[in-house]
Amino acid sequence: MANTTLEEFVRDALNQGQGREAISKALLAAGWTSKEVDAALECWISTDFGLAAPRPKPYVSAREAFLFLVFFLLLGIVAYNLGSLLFALIDLRVADVLDVSRPEAKIRGAIAALVVGTPLFAWLGWRLSVQRRTNPAMQRSPVRKWLTYVTLIIAASVLVGDAIGLVYNFLAGELSTRLGLKMFVLAALAGGVFIYFIRDAEQGDENEPQA
């Protein structure tokens, strides 16, 4: 982020009708680095009525970063345990004589996590949604953007892996009802997450300032 004093100098120079190249040369001669000068010039855009207008800056807040981190952590807990619960129910419904695991224990663990995690996830998601509507600057939060795209990468990887596994088992003649149901659960969870967050990412990109 550019130095405040430097930003103010660039603003005043632009308001006086000075060209960007002349401003850059003057600042470099004064000892500022080219990176600092470029950052300061990028903060302002010339307008038709002769005054420099500030560009929107990335929104960075430790509090919002914390809330977004907790939100995405809760998303992972809810998605994982919902999948675990559905997997265990499939194991109970479609029995396998070779499976000696105890789905009842998995069901209890998944339900416990969902009872605690789901209300917190829903409440925090609602709170962040309200804050983003009342404070549009949160759309420019780099933490939210990075976490959103990391989530999209994970969801896309699960979907691609699920499709590969489905084709592989089909070609190998090992596509059982039990396996097919579990793959469907994975695809539904990952697909739902991907669709929601790709729309959220596109909405945020639409609100980005254009260079």
Lowest pLDDT segment from 40-44, 77-81, 191-195: 40-44
Count other C-beta atoms under 10 Å from residue 79's C-beta. 20
pLDDT digits (tens, 9 = 90+) for 147-156: 888 888 998 8
pTM recorded for the entire structure = 0.65
Farthest-apart Cα atoms in the chain, separation:
83
pLDDT at 102 over 50: yes
DSSP letter at 55 equals: P
Report the phi/psi class of residue 33: left, alpha or beta, with left for phi > 0 and alpha for psi in -120 to 50: beta
Q: Which of the four pLDDT bands, split at 50, 70 and 90, describes residue 113?
A: very high
Alpha helices in the chain, H assignment, sequence order: 4-15, 20-29, 34-42, 62-93, 103-134, 142-171, 177-206
